[in-house]
Structures are given as C-alpha cells and as structure tokens.
C-alpha cells in the first residue's frame, strides 16, 4: 500500500521544488543581467549630465552630447571605422571563402600543409608581429590612408575565417559538386553558384565576429591610422580619455556612440552566431 501512496507525494514535492528552483534561477539571471548591463547604465546615466552635474552626483542635461561633436570629430571617426571595417571584412570574406572551399573540396599536392599553416597562423598574437608590420607598412607609405590598416586587419582575421569556412564547406555533399560538374560548371562556377549560397550562415558568423573584432580594436588603429582625419572611433575615444581636460560625461557619450553599432550588428546577427559557433566547435 505504501508503494501506491509514495509516488504521488513524491511527484507533488518535486513539482513544487522545481518551480522554486526555476524562480531562483530566474532571479539569479536577472541579477546577472544587471551586472552585465552595468556599463550601459553607467554610460547612459553619466552621459546625460554636465561635468558639474557629474561631479555633484545628480542632475541631467544633454549638454555633454551637444559638446561631443566639438571635442571629438565623432562623425568622421564613425565613418572611418565603418570604412575600415567594411573594407577589411570584404577582403576577409572573399579570400576566406575562396580558400575555405579550396581546402575543403579541391585537394591538391601539399594542400593539407598549406591549410595547417593557415590555421596555425591563428595563434600568432598581434604584438609579436607588430613591430615588423609597422616598419613594413611605413616603408610603403601606407600609414597614410586606410589601406595599411585594412590589410593588417584582413591578414589577422583571415585564418579564423578560413578555419570556419573550411569546416562549413566540408559539409557540402560531394555529389552536389559532381552534379554541378556534370551540368557544365567548372569548379569556379561550383563555388560561386552552388557552394556559396549554402554558406550564408558561415558568412554571417564571420562577418559578425570580425566586425566586433575590428570595430572594437585599438592597437592597430592607434598605429596604422595615425592621421587624425582617419582615426577610427576607438582611437578617438582613447585619445579623448588620455587628454587632461576631458569631461567624463562626454567620454561616456562618446563610448555609447562607439558601442552602439557593434551592439546593433551583434543583436541583428546573433542567430547566425550561435549556429556558426556550433558548427565550428562541434566538428
């Protein structure tokens, strides 16, 4: 008789406990969210103060926002960041897709070796090659203009892109490629007309990750885009922070402006990010 009674009481208890647990988890997630969102709170609140209000600790005003454009050429810098990001990502995508497809499906002698070389280039930290890189770029006069920085960003981002694209293209069935061949395409045509449309999620993933990486980068911009007219926004922000007379609210306003595009791109593409990472890691 007790065996008949026990299961039902057990069920009730665990259901209640489950709800409590879930509620606790929810609370914990909210707390975590507050912590993670803290920088944004700060930026929002503090940017809407004047210097004095900030020091005093209360008050709101949009003055710092108005002043931002005079202290820092925001629009110009945003434009610079956009140009550099777009150009670098374009190169990374084109070079990466081509190489990824080749490594995945077009075997040739020593191909595997080259692939290994590409992938291990992922492990090279920027600082290791920074000095020679700077010297080379300066020698070719490329510290003026975007090209130098774009090339550096492209070179840094390509290995990872190749890694992801190769993994992705490996999943394209060989039969599909053979069907394309029989239908009259060359391998070049197979890549652009058949394989590429299937790789859109991977492209989105690479785009998001590289965008965040390049948009948020400081070091390359600092060294390779020294012309103030070409400064990306991160460098502008850092310069502002290093200045003696900078007001914190303005700095916060500038930070918000800098952070917004990356956030928007991330939020817009995050579906692909999850899918792409799953593919890349789960091999």
Partner 1 sequence: MTTSPTLSLADAPRRARRPSTSLLTRRRRRVGVLLTVPAFVLVGLLIVYPIGQAIYYSMTYWDGLTTTWVGPSTWWQALNNPTMWRALENNALLLLSVPFALAIPLAVAVMLHQRVAGWKVFRSIYFLPTAISWVVIGLVAEHFFAYSGTLNSLLGHVGLSHVHTDMLGSESTALIALGITFVFSTIGTNTMIFLTGLATLDTSLEEAARIDGAGSWRIFRHITLPHLSRFIQLAFVMTVISAFSALFSLIFVMTGGGPGYSTTTMEFLVYQTGFNQSQFGTAALYGLILFFITAVVGIVQLRLIGAKD
Partner 2 sequence: MAEIVFDRVQKTYPGGVTAVTDLSLAIAEGEFMVLVGPSGCGKTTALRMVAGLEEITDGNISIGGVVVNNVLPKDRDIAMVFQNYALYPQMSVGQNMGFALKVRNVPKAEIDRRVREAAEILRLTEYLDRRPKALSGGQRQRVAMGRAIVREPQAFLMDEPLSNLDAQLRVEMRTEITRIQRLLGVATIYVTHDQTEAMTMGDRVAVMRGGLLQQVATPQDLYDHPVNEFVAGFIGSPPMNLIVAGLRERDGSLVLSFGNQEVTLPASYRSSHTLGPAVGARVVFGVRPEDLQLATGDDHVRLDATVDLREALGSEKLAYLSFGDDAGIVENEAAAEDGPRRRRSRVVARLGARADVHEGQRVTLGLNAAHLHFFDVDSGASLRDGAHEARS
Residue 178 or 274 with smaller CB distance to partner 2: 178
Q: At what angle do helices 111-120 and 74-105 cross, to 10 degrees?
A: 150
Least Å distance, CB 243 to partner 1, is 12
CA atoms of 154 and 89, how far apart (whole Å) = 7
Residues 175-214 that bind partner 1 (CB under 8 A): 181, 186-188, 191, 212
- Alpha carbon of residue 52 to chain centroid: 36
**Residue 175 binds which entry of partner 1, partner 2, none, with Cβ cut-offs from 5 to 8 Å by kind?**
partner 2
Taking the alpha carbons at both ends of the chain, their separation in whole angstroms is 52
**Residue 133 binds which entry of partner 1, partner 2, none, with Cβ cut-offs from 5 to 8 Å by kind?**
partner 1
Least Å distance, CB 108 to partner 2, is 14
Q: What string marks each residue from 57 to 76 as x (binds partner 1 by CB under 8 A) or -?
A: --------------------
CA-nearest of 275, 273, 271, 264 to 209 is 273
CA-nearest of 84, 80, 221, 227 to 144 is 227
Residues 171-200 that bind partner 2 (CB under 8 A): 173, 175-176, 178-185, 189, 194, 197-198
Residues 17-56 that bind partner 1 (CB under 8 A): 22, 25-26, 28-29, 32-33, 36-40, 42-43, 46
When asked if residue 12 is in the footprint of partner 2 (CB under 8 A), the reply is no
- Alpha carbon of residue 11 to chain centroid: 46
**Residue 182 binds which entry of partner 2, partner 1, none, with Cβ cut-offs from 5 to 8 Å by kind?**
partner 2
Secondary structure class of 39 (helix, strand, coil): helix
Selected from 78, 79, 83, 95, the binder of partner 1 by CB under 8 A is: 95
Secondary structure class of 247 (helix, strand, coil): coil
Q: What string marks each residue from 127 to 166 as x (binds partner 1 by CB under 8 A) or -?
A: xxxxxxxxxx--------------xx-xxx-xx--x----
When asked if residue 85 is in the footprint of partner 1 (CB under 8 A), the reply is no
Residue 187 or 266 with smaller CB distance to partner 2: 187
Q: What are phi and psi of 231, to 5 degrees?
A: -65, 135
b/e per residue 33-43 (b: at least 16 CB within 10 A): eeeeeeeeeeb
């Amino acid at each position: 008789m007790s065996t008949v009674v026990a299961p039902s009481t057990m069920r009730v208890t665990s259901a209640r406990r489950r709800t409590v647990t879930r509620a606790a988890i929810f609370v914990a997630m909210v707390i975590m969210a507050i912590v993670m969102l803290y920088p944004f709170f700060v930026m929002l609140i503090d940017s809407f103060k004047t210097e004095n209000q900030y020091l005093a600790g209360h008050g709101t005003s949009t003055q710092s926002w108005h002043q931002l454009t005079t202290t820092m050429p925001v629009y110009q810098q945003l434009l610079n960041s956009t140009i550099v990001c777009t150009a670098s990502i374009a190169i990374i995508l084109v070079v990466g897709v081509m190489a990824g497809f080749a490594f995945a499906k077009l075997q040739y002698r020593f191909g595997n070796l080259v692939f290994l070389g590409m992938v291990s280039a992922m492990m090279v930290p920027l600082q290791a090659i920074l000095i020679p890189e700077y010297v080379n770029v300066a020698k070719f006069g490329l510290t003026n203009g975007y090209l130098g920085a774009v090339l550096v960003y492209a070179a840094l981002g390509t290995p990872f892109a190749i890694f992801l694209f190769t993994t992705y293209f490996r999943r394209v069935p060989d039969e599909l490629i053979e069907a394309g061949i029989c239908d009259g395409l060359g391998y070049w045509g197979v890549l652009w007309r058949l394989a590429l449309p299937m790789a859109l999620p991977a492209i989105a993933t690479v785009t998001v990750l590289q965008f965040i990486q390049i948009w948020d980068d400081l070091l390359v911009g600092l060294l390779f885009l020294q012309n103030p007219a070409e400064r990306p926004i991160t460098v502008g922000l850092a310069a502002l922070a290093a200045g003696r007379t900078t007001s914190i609210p303005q700095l916060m306003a500038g930070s918000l402006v800098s952070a917004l595009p990356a956030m928007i791109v991330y939020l817009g593409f995050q579906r692909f990010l999850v899918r792409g990472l799953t593919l890349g890691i789960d091999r």
